[in-house]
C-alpha cells in the first residue's frame, strides 16, 4: 500500500459518508467509574484500560455531556498510640502500647474491668488517656518523652464498648481526635453503666485521610460518523472555589496512547476545546483531567517526579500531588466538517488533519493506533477511482 492509494481511499470514504448525522441534542450525565472505597482512592479507577472505557452514545449532531472531577481522599499519617487509664488522683493504673484489635498494629487496646474507678457515690467512671508513643513509656503522661515531643501525627478513633456478665453490649462510645503538632496527650472520661462488668477499648489509627484532587474521567464517544471531524468543547463548569473548572481534554487511541491534548480554546478562559477524528467504528476516546496533568494520570506533572522518587512505606507519607482541580463541567460534542487541507502542525485544536495524514502514512486507515486486516478491508472496499 502506498501513500497515494491510501489517501485516495480515505477521500472516497469522507465524501461518501458525509459528516452531518440527524438527531437532536441530549444531556448525558457522566460519572466516574467505581465508587471509591478505600484509602487509595486516587489509584482507582482513574487509569486507562484498553477497550474498557465508559461509553456515551452521541445521538446526533450536537450532544452535551455533564461530568465532574470529584474530590478523592488518600491515606494520611497513622500514629503509633499509647493508652493509659487513671484513677481519681490521675495515677496510671493500666496501660497498653500495641494491643488494639483495630488499626495497623501500632494502635493500643485495653480490656477488662481494671480501669473502672469507684467514685464513692455508687457510680463508676472510666478515665482514659491517649498519647503518642514513646510518651507514657517513661511513666509520665504529658505528651513528651524525655522533655521532647512524642512526634506522632495523624487522626485516630477510640472505640469503647461496655459489656455485662453475659457478654452483651450495654453501652458504647466513640471518641475521635488528631495529633496535629506531635505533643498532644488526650484525656477522655466516661460514666460506666451500672450493669457493666468489663470494657473493651480499641484504637483505630488508620482513619486519617487527606483530600487529593486527582480524578480523571475516561470515556468513549460512540455512534459518530466514521472518519469525520468532531470537536469536544467545554462550555460550562464551576469548581469548588466557584471559579471556571480548569480542565484538560485528551484524545486517545484504542491502545491508550495519547494523540492530542488541549487545555484552552473553550468558551471562557480556562475551558478547553479539543478537535478529533472519529475512527472507522465511529468512536473517539476522550479523557478529562485537571489542567496541570498533561499525562492524564491524576497527578501534577511538575510535582509527581519528586513524589514518586521519595515515596516509601513510612508512618506519615507525603500526600499525593494531585492535579488540584475538583468541579463540574459541561462538554459540547459536535460535528464540524469532512477533512480539509488543514496545514496546522498538530499542536493545536485544529491539527487533526496532520494527525490523520500521519496515520495514513502508516496504513492506519481507521486511525485506531494499529495497522491490521481491518485497515486492509477498508482499502479493498473502497478501491478504485473516486470520479474526480
Domain count, the chain: 2
> Do 139 and 163 fall into the same domain?
yes
> Do 130 and 217 fall into the same domain?
no
Q: What is the pLDDT of residue 9?
A: 35
Residue 388: inside a domain: no
CATH number at residue 266: 2.60.120.380
> What proportion of the chain, given as a percentage, has pLDDT over 90?
47
Is residue 42 a contact partner of residue 34, using CB atoms and an 8 Å limit? no
Is residue 332 a contact partner of residue 232, using CB atoms and an 8 Å limit? yes
Q: Which helix (H) or strand (E) holds 373?
A: helix 373-381
Q: Residue 356 pLDDT > 50, yes or no?
A: yes
> Do 67 and 93 fall into the same domain?
no
Structural domain harbouring 94: 81-207
Q: Residue 27 pLDDT > 80, yes or no?
A: no
How many angstroms separate the CA atoms of 54 and 153, rounded? Answer: 40
pLDDT confidence bin for 375, thresholds 50/70/90:
low
> Do 259 and 346 fall into the same domain?
yes
C-alpha cell recorded at residue 192: 460506666
How many angstroms separate the CA atoms of 38 and 62, rounded? Answer: 38
C-alpha cell recorded at residue 290: 485537571
> Do 8 and 112 fall into the same domain?
no
Q: Residue 46 pLDDT > 80, yes or no?
A: no
> What proportion of the chain, given as a percentage, has pLDDT over 70?
72
Alpha-carbon 371 to chain mean position: 34
Q: Residue 67 pLDDT > 60, yes or no?
A: yes
179: β partners: 154
pLDDT confidence bin for 14, thresholds 50/70/90:
very low
Q: Can you list the pairs that 30-38 forms with residues at least 24 positions away whose Cβ atoms lie under 8 Å?
A: 30/54, 30/56, 30/65, 30/66, 30/67, 30/217, 30/219, 31/67, 31/68, 32/68, 32/70, 32/215, 32/217, 36/72, 36/73
Q: What is the pLDDT of residue 337?
A: 63
Q: What is the pLDDT of residue 35?
A: 35
How many angstroms separate the CA atoms of 143 and 133, rounded? Answer: 9
> Do 217 and 171 fall into the same domain?
no
> Do 64 and 191 fall into the same domain?
no
Residue 202: inside a domain: yes
Q: What is the pLDDT of residue 24?
A: 45
Residue 51: inside a domain: yes
In this predicted model, which residue has the larger pLDDT, 122 or 60?
Answer: 122
pLDDT confidence bin for 87, thresholds 50/70/90:
very high
Q: What is the pLDDT of residue 267?
A: 81
Which of 166, 181, 207 is the C-terminal boundary of a domain? 207
In this predicted model, which residue has the larger pLDDT, 30 or 303?
Answer: 303
Which of 190, 207, 224 is the C-terminal boundary of a domain? 207
> Do 41 and 178 fall into the same domain?
no
Is residue 158 a contact partner of residue 171, using CB atoms and an 8 Å limit? no
> Do 181 and 163 fall into the same domain?
yes
* Mean predicted confidence (pLDDT) in 245-262: 92
Residue 226: inside a domain: yes
Residue 386: inside a domain: no
118: β partners: 124
In which residue are the cell numbers 495524514 written?
357
Residue 387: inside a domain: no
Q: Residue 8 pLDDT > 90, yes or no?
A: no
> Do 119 and 191 fall into the same domain?
yes
> Do 291 and 156 fall into the same domain?
no
> Do 316 and 368 fall into the same domain?
yes
CATH number at residue 148: 2.60.40.3230
Look over the chain and give the mean of its residue pLDDT values, rounded to a whole number: 79
Instruction: Please count the CA atoms within 13 angstroms of the CA of 223 that sit on its side-chain side.
Output: 14
How many angstroms separate the CA atoms of 21 and 312, rounded? Answer: 53
Q: Residue 388 pLDDT > 50, yes or no?
A: no
How many angstroms separate the CA atoms of 63 and 232, rounded? Answer: 10
Q: Residue 56 pLDDT > 50, yes or no?
A: yes
Count H helices and E strands in the chain, helices first: 4, 23
Q: Residue 3 pLDDT > 80, yes or no?
A: no
pLDDT confidence bin for 360, thresholds 50/70/90:
low
Q: What is the pLDDT of residue 31?
A: 47
* Beta sheet of 54-57, edge-to-edge order: 54-57, 217-222, 284-290, 247-252, 258-262
Which of 143, 172, 207 is the C-terminal boundary of a domain? 207
Q: Residue 86 pLDDT > 70, yes or no?
A: yes
Q: What is the pLDDT of residue 376?
A: 66
pLDDT confidence bin for 368, thresholds 50/70/90:
low
For 151-182, write each residue's pLDDT tens digit. 999 999 999 999 999 999 999 999 999 999 99
332: β partners: 64, 233
Amino acid at each position: 500500500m502506498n501513500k497515494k492509494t491510501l489517501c485516495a481511499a480515505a477521500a472516497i470514504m469522507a465524501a461518501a459518508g458525509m459528516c452531518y448525522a440527524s438527531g437532536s441534542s441530549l444531556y448525558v450525565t457522566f460519572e466516574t467509574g467505581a465508587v471509591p472505597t478505600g484509602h487509595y482512592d486516587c489509584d482507582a479507577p482513574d487509569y486507562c484500560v484498553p477497550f474498557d472505557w465508559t461509553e456515551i452514545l452521541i445521538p446526533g449532531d450536537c450532544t452535551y455531556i455533564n461530568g465532574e472531577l470529584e474530590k478523592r481522599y488518600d491515606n494520611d499519617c497513622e500514629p503509633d498510640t499509647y493508652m493509659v487509664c487513671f484513677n481519681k488522683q490521675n495515677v496510671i493504673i493500666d496501660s497498653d502500647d500495641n494491643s488494639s484489635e483495630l488499626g495497623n498494629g501500632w494502635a493500643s487496646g485495653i480490656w477488662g474491668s481494671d480501669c473502672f474507678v469507684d467514685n464513692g457515690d455508687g457510680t463508676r467512671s472510666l478515665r482514659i488517656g491517649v498519647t503518642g508513643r514513646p510518651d507514657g513509656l517513661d511513666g509520665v503522661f504529658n505528651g513528651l518523652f524525655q522533655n521532647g515531643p512524642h512526634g506522632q501525627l495523624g487522626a485516630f478513633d477510640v472505640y469503647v464498648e461496655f459489656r455485662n456478665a453475659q457478654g452483651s453490649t450495654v453501652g458504647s462510645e466513640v471518641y475521635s481526635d488528631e495529633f496535629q503538632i506531635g505533643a498532644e496527650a488526650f484525656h477522655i472520661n466516661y460514666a460506666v453503666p451500672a450493669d457493666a462488668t468489663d470494657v473493651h477499648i480499641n484504637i483505630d489509627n488508620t482513619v486519617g485521610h487527606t483530600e487529593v484532587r486527582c480524578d480523571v474521567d475516561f470515556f468513549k464517544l460512540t455512534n459518530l460518523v466514521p472518519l469525520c471531524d468532531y470537536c469536544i468543547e467545554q462550555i460550562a463548569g464551576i469548581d469548588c472555589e466557584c471559579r471556571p473548572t480548569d480542565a484538560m481534554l485528551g484524545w486517545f487511541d484504542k491502545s491508550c496512547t495519547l494523540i492530542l491534548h488541549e487545555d484552552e480554546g473553550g468558551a471562557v478562559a480556562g475551558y478547553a476545546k479539543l478537535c478529533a477524528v472519529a475512527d472507522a467504528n465511529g468512536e473517539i476516546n476522550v479523557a478529562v483531567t485537571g489542567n496541570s496533568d498533561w499525562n492524564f494520570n491524576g497527578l501534577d506533572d511538575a510535582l509527581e517526579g519528586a513524589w514518586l522518587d521519595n515515596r516509601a512505606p513510612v508512618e506519615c507519607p507525603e500526600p499525593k500531588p494531585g492535579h488540584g482541580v475538583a468541579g463540574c463541567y459541561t462538554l459540547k460534542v459536535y460535528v464540524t466538517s469532512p477533512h480539509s487541507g488543514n496545514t496546522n502542525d498538530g499542536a493545536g485544536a485544529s491539527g487533526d488533519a496532520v494527525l490523520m495524514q500521519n496515520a495514513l502514512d502508516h496504513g492506519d486507515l481507521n486511525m485506531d493506533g494499529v495497522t491490521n486486516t481491518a485497515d486492509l478491508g477498508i482499502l479493498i472496499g473502497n478501491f478504485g477511482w473516486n470520479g474526480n
